[in-house]
Each structure stands twice: as structure tokens, then as C-alpha cells.
């Protein structure tokens, strides 16, 4: 399955049907009066978050979504049929953005959430509506309201509890494969991971979702490498796991490179809870490991976990630290959702 997280879509709601000018014609009825019906409503365009999707690839092959128009009114006071709505089924976590690529129309974060993107036009009134005490035979009717045409952007931000950060070849995909059933591509060259991967991680009988994104390099905010296009997929995470390659001779510089790119992308993302781990410790001797750990702890200003995705050393401690941050965030969110009682 191909991954796509940004696409442009053209939508148009249906126009309302026109009202009808009609008069009752019946044997032995000399003055039948008006009996023109109203036009039907036009169909609307909706977006709905559904389960089972994690890509916008379907919108690469169909970008135009047009709802049907309402039918015109008819004689004998018959109202025209309403146009059919059209529904864009998108993955959970999809942001709907206006054509200016800045205004957020809606953010669908739960299964079943719906938003109306373009409302169908109202049907016009038939001449029956214009009958008065002084005008018993009106010969006019209203046209239907035109539909709305607009261009929107769909941007997918995957919903995960924890996100993986690091330079290319820091061992992010190896770590995800070691702690979950996800099977990302793993190889000994930069940018093996070209699109985000999700995995369900378990520790002490608890489960949470982890996202692995392509590696960042110096200058990613300016477009180098794969850029920072995929950082949006870790914006919703409760905690970030920053993996530093222990075999690198410049671990403190590697650490600061990621922080610089995070701050350039979004200060809010840089302020998220972050756990730092020194990876690939199985390839280091004890003396080198101790020295690099001290250097990294000095740069971080806090504790640094030691782990290896290959030998699986220290993985449990890292997962427990991640879950502790996730649990604290869930408690805070639940407390914020409780409404205060008002008399």
C-alpha cells in the first residue's frame, strides 16, 4: 500500500431545483389557482473520519467530488427530489485545510466525526408560495440557490502515543521492529525509511502506538534530505523518543541537530516531553560507552537511557519511561475534559 499524506481535492455541492409555475386545471373548476411545487435541495459534500485507513492514496486517483442538484418542482404541488449528498471518507487524524493552505476548516481526530464542507443550495419556491389575497394567480417562481464550489487540501497526521526521532541510520526502524510486530524496511544506508510506520508496542501488559518517521538531517527545515514533511505525524504524540547513534563520534552535535530542526519546524513540538536514548550500545566497549554517555547527559541536561535494538538490551526500561509519560498525559487530558458544574 502506497503512503500519501497530502492531497488537493475539488468539491462542489449541488444547486437547488427551481420552483414551478403551474395552475390547477380540472374539469368543472373554473379558477383552479396556483399549484406549482418547490424545488428540491441540492446535495451537500461531507467529510467523515472512518476506521481502517491510514493513507490518502485513494484521493490521488479521484480529486473531483460533485454532489447532485435538486430536481425542479412540478405541478400538483409536487416538490422536487433532493440531491444526494457525497461523503469523503478520510483516515482518523486528517486535517482539512482551505485553499490558502493555512486556514484549518476541521480536524477529524475520532472515528465517526463528520463535517459539512459545502452545503447544498436551497430549492426555489413554486408559485403556490406567492398566492395572496390580492394576487390569486401569481405567475412567478424562484430559481434554486446555486451550489458552492471550493478547493481544499487534505493533510493526514497520524495519531500515535509516542514518536521516534533521530538522524538517518540511528536505529529507529530496528527499534520499532524489536518492540512491535511492525516490519519496516531496515538496511545499512541513510533514508531507508521513506514514509511513516506505525507499530503497537506492549510493556507490562499495557499497549500504546508508536510512530517511526524518516530521519532528519541538518538543514531539513530548509528542504535538505526528505525535509521536515513528516514531522507533522509526531505532532499529536504525547512523548518523543530521541535515538542517538552511539557509534557516531559526534553524538552531542547529532543531538543538537535534531533539536535545532524541531525548533525550526514548531516550538510547540520542541517543547513536548522527550526521552533521550543512546542506541547501538552492543557495538561499544565499556570505556567508550561510559564516556559517550557522560557527554550526552551533559548536552541533554538529564538522564540518558542505554539500549540496543539488535541485542534488545535496555528496551524494557525505555518503554516503561515512555508509557509513564503517556499515562501522565492521558490523566491530564481526562482532567481537562471534565466539565465544571454550573448552577
What's the pLDDT tens digit per position in 273-316? 999 999 989 888 888 889 999 999 999 888 899 999 888 888 99
Question: The domain that contains 244 carries what CATH number?
Answer: 3.40.50.300
Domain boundary pick from 106, 131, 156: 156
Question: The domain that contains 66 carries what CATH number?
Answer: 2.70.210.12
Its domain, for residue 15, covers 6-156
Domain boundary pick from 130, 156, 182: 156
Residues 24, 42 share a domain:
yes
Q: Could you give the strand order of the β-sheet that contains 104-108, starting from the edge strand earlier in sequence?
A: 64-66, 6-12, 149-156, 94-98, 104-108
The whole model's pTM is what?
A: 0.79
Which contacts (CB < 8 Å, 24+ apart) does range 192-198 have?
192/168, 194/226, 195/3, 195/5, 195/230, 196/3, 196/5, 196/158, 196/230, 196/233, 197/173, 198/54, 198/158, 198/160
Q: Which of 31-35, 94-98, 189-193 has the lowest mean pLDDT?
A: 189-193
pLDDT in tens, 38-63: 999 999 999 999 988 888 989 989 99
In this structure, is residue 342 part of a structural domain?
no
Res 255 pLDDT > 60: yes
pLDDT class for 14, splitting at 50, 70, 90?
Answer: very high
Residues 263, 127 share a domain:
no
Amino acid at each position: 500500500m502506497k503512503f500519501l499524506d497530502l492531497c488537493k481535492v475539488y468539491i462542489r455541492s449541488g444547486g437547488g431545483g427551481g420552483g414551478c409555475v403551474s395552475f390547477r386545471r380540472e374539469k368543472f373548476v373554473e379558477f383552479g389557482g396556483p399549484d406549482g411545487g418547490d424545488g428540491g435541495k441540492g446535495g451537500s459534500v461531507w467529510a467523515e473520519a472512518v476506521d481502517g485507513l491510514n493513507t490518502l492514496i485513494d484521493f490521488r486517483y479521484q480529486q473531483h467530488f460533485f454532489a447532485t442538484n435538486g430536481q425542479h418542482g412540478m405541478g400538483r404541488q409536487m416538490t422536487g427530489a433532493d440531491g444526494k449528498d457525497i461523503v469523503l471518507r478520510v483516515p482518523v487524524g486528517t486535517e482539512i485545510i482551505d485553499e490558502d493552505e493555512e486556514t484549518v476548516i476541521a480536524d477529524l481526530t475520532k472515528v465517526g466525526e463528520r463535517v459539512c464542507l459545502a452545503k447544498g443550495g436551497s430549492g426555489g419556491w413554486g408559485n403556490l408560495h406567492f398566492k395572496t389575497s390580492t394576487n390569486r394567480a401569481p405567475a412567478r417562481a424562484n430559481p434554486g440557490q446555486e451550489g458552492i464550489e471550493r478547493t481544499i487540501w487534505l493533510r493526514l497526521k497520524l495519531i500515535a502515543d509516542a514518536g521516534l526521532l533521530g538522524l538517518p541510520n540511528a536505529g529507529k526502524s530496528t527499534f520499532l521492529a524489536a518492540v512491535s510486530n511492525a516490519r519496516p524496511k531496515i538496511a545499512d544506508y541513510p533514508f531507508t525509511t521513506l514514509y511513516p510506520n506505525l507499530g503497537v508496542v506492549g510493556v507490562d501488559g499495557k499497549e500504546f502506538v508508536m510512530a517511526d518517521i524518516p530521519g532528519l538531517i541538518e538543514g531539513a527545515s530548509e528542504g535538505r534530505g526528505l525535509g521536515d514533511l513528516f514531522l507533522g505525524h509526531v505532532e499529536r504524540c504525547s512523548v518523543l523518543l530521541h535515538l542517538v547513534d552511539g557509534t557516531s563520534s559526534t553524538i552531542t552535535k547529532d543531538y543538537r541537530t535534531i533539536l535545532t530542526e524541531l525548533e525550526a519546524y514548531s516550538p510547540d513540538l520542541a517543547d513536548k516531553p522527550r526521552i533521550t536514548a543512546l542506541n547501538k550500545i552492543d557495538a561499544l566497549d565499556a570505556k567508550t560507552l561510559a564516556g559517550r554517555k557522560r557527554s550526552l547527559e551533559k548536552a541533554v541536561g538529564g538522564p540518558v537511557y542505554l539500549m540496543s535494538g539488535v541485542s534488545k538490551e535496555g528496551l524494557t526500561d525505555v518503554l516503561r519511561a515512555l508509557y509513564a509519560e503517556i499515562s501522565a498525559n492521558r490523566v491530564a487530558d481526562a482532567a481537562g475534559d471534565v466539565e465544571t458544574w454550573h448552577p
